Amino acid sequence: MTIYNNGEPLGGDWEACICQTKRSDVVIYGYIRVSTDHQTTENQRFEIQKFCEKQDLVIDCWIEETISATKDLNKRKLGRLIKRIQKDDLIIASELSRLGRNLLQIMSILHHCMNIGAKIWTIKDNYRLGSDITSKVLAFAFGLSAEIERNLISQRTKEALARVKSEGKHIGRPHGSRNVCKLEGREKYISQKLEAGSSRHEIARRLRVHRDTLSKFIEVRNIDPNKPVAPTVVI
């Protein structure tokens, strides 16, 4: 993430920007996010700058980060900013989708900011979200939409799981699949140990798998200590 104070780059963390700004004053943040290094931040910066010129505003701190919105908010610099933002502070972004991966996450951010009296403005969406009644009505509408979205996702998930279960299919990783994979290529070793008189319990312990997993592997691969073991061919 790159941080700027009045257009000049700052080294270190975004808190350095706060330190150079009197906290008795309102702080205006320009927030820019792109998902990959192949995307440019210049378009968002240009939009915010032009908007501020028209509104006679000056960005105190520019915050840029290249990170997917699917990342947990706590792992993003925006999450740290939201925790430190104060009453009457303003975050300006090009659009609401820059803030979060879905409506649920965006609502969480809006709810926190509105509770402490901070504001979020977006340019393309033309939202002016603060503590006024209009913002509260919008927040209610967003919250209702988020609740509907959450219920729909939950319902679709339950329906899909029920359908798969009704078809007799196993949900999740096959039982013992991870441990069976650990035994791939060990057929010759297992056969030799069996021929030498080692118990299945001892062999399983040495291979660090459950005895039942070993027994199933021996059965599936038809391992017989009296038969030569064919080499495993990987295609």
Instruction: Please write the tens of the pLDDT for every residue from 52-69.
Output: 999 999 999 998 888 775
Question: Which pLDDT belongs to residue 61?
Answer: 92
The total number of structural domains that make up the chain: 2
Give the whole-angstrom CA distance, residue 155 versus residue 143.
18
Residues 6 and 122 in one domain: yes
Out of 1-15, 23-37, 198-212, pick the least confident: 1-15
C-beta separation of 62 from 3 below 8 A:
yes
Clarify whether residues 128 and 177 are in a common domain.
no
Q: What is the mean pLDDT of residues 39-55?
A: 89
Phi, psi of 108 (to 5 degrees): -60, -40
Q: Which two tokens stand for residue 43?
A: 């378009």
pTM for this prediction: 0.54
Reported confidence tier of residue 89, pLDDT bands at 50, 70, 90 = very high
26 or 163, greater pLDDT: 26
Q: Which of 108, 132, 156 is the last residue of a domain?
A: 132
Higher-pLDDT residue of 89 and 12 is 89
We report the CATH number of the domain holding residue 123 as 3.40.50.1390
Whole-number pLDDT of residue 57: 94
Residues 126 and 177 in one domain: no
Residues above pLDDT 70, as percent of the chain: 71
- Give the domain-ending residue among 110, 132, 154: 132
Q: Considering the domain boundaries, does residue 140 fall inside one? A: no
* Residue 211 confidence (pLDDT): 86
Same domain, 128 and 228: no
- Whether 47 has a pLDDT exceeding 90, the answer reads yes
Q: 113 and 8, same structural domain?
A: yes
Tell me if 185 is assigned to some domain: yes
Residues 12 and 122 in one domain: yes
Question: Do 106 and 220 share a domain, yes or no?
Answer: no
Task: Write the pLDDT tens digit of every residue in 167-209.
Answer: 777 666 555 445 456 788 888 888 888 888 888 889 888 888 8
User: Is 192 found in the same domain as 122?
Assistant: no
Q: Per residue in 92-114, pLDDT tens?
A: 999 888 887 777 778 888 888 88
The 8 Å CB, 24+ separation contacts for 112-119 are 112/82, 113/82, 113/85, 114/139, 116/85, 116/86, 116/87, 117/87, 117/88, 118/85, 118/86, 118/87, 118/88, 118/89, 118/90, 118/91, 119/88, 119/89, 119/90, 119/91
* 9 and 104, same domain (yes or no): yes
In the predicted structure, residue 210 carries a pLDDT above the cut 60: yes
More confident residue, 21 or 92: 92
Instruction: Please tell me the predicted confidence (pLDDT) of residue 48.
Output: 95
Q: Write out the residue range of the structural domain in which residue 105 sits.
A: 2-132
Q: Could you tell me if residue 167 is inside a domain?
A: no
Across the range 20-31, mean pLDDT stands at 75
Same domain, 64 and 7: yes
Q: Are residues 22 and 96 in the same domain?
A: yes
User: Are residues 111 and 24 located together in one domain of the fold?
Assistant: yes
Domain for residue 58, yes or no?
Answer: yes
Residue 151 lies in a domain: no
Flag whether 154 is in a domain: no
Residue finishing a domain among 103, 132, 161: 132
